[in-house]
Amino acid sequence: MTAPAAAPLRERFDRVDALRGAAMLWMAAFHFAFDLNHFGLLEPRQDFYRDPLWTLQRTAIVSLFLFTAGLGQALALDAGQPAARFWRRWAQVAGCAVLVSVGSALMFPASWISFGVLHGIALMLVVARFAAPLRAGLWPLGAVAIALPHLVQHPFFDTRWTNWVGLVTRKPITEDYVPLLPWLGVMLWGLAAGQWLLANRRGVLAAAAPRVAQPLAALGRWPLTFYMLHQPVLIGAILAWRYVS
């Protein structure tokens, strides 16, 4: 009697996980500085909304997150991810986005988050999923998405009900804002890069991450959990420190 064949091992892309983990740590450090500033513990006081030291960091962090999300979609499609699993994961992201809106409304009632990074990712994942068959066409489509907000703005898109598109004439007053445009372009480029690498340079993604990056790879496998927990933990630690001191 022949023994049953062993199930194929799932390919592990540690390098992508490590890249995502690096973005997560950078985000946590950025938010820790923001929290210290918010509670008056950072001297001199910082302007996180206008100072390029902070605004450029935010742009880089969000870009890295969305690019790795695009890479992740390429890996999932290459592995034959079924639609049911995609939508289950999407529901988790969308549900957490709702929780972020509720939590931010309690902490920042005048500038609560109606369309932040999780809201943006939820919408962009759907667009990326359906756009994936374009393959090389994702590069120019991404470029159009990135360029469009610089070419087209209209007051119609300035309300909370419409600013998710991104064609605003002014940045809304909110603690986090990641609209579809231009950020969809970054995710599409990540998807396109992942598809090209998988087809032509698979080893770049599939090779093991260096030992020093393994902790980042482990962290990078839990992005949603980390995102939802890191701010309550940081803020709780700051409040506890203020209380005991």
Which residue's structure tokens are 């892309």? 13
Q: d(Cα 76, Cα 73) in Å, to the nearest integer?
A: 5
Which ranges of the chain would DSSP assign to H, the alpha helix?
14-38, 52-78, 83-107, 117-131, 138-151, 180-200, 202-206, 214-219, 223-244
pLDDT band per the 50, 70, 90 thresholds, residue 11 = confident
Rg of the chain over all Cα atoms, to the nearest angstrom: 20
Q: d(Cα 62, Cα 66) in Å, to the nearest integer?
A: 6
C-alpha separations of 196 from 7, 190, 199, 243 in Å: 27, 10, 5, 53
Percent of the chain with pLDDT strictly greater than 90? 91
- pLDDT tens digits, residue range 125-174? 999 999 999 999 999 999 999 999 999 999 999 999 999 999 999 999 99
pLDDT band per the 50, 70, 90 thresholds, residue 35 = very high
For 177, which DSSP code? B
C-alpha separations of 231 from 31, 34, 58, 188, 227 in Å: 7, 10, 16, 28, 8
106 exposed, middle or buried (CB, 10 Å; 0-12, 13-18, 19+)?
A: exposed
Residue 25 has pLDDT above 50, yes or no: yes
- pLDDT tens digits, residue range 40-92? 999 999 999 999 999 999 999 999 999 999 999 999 999 999 999 999 999 99
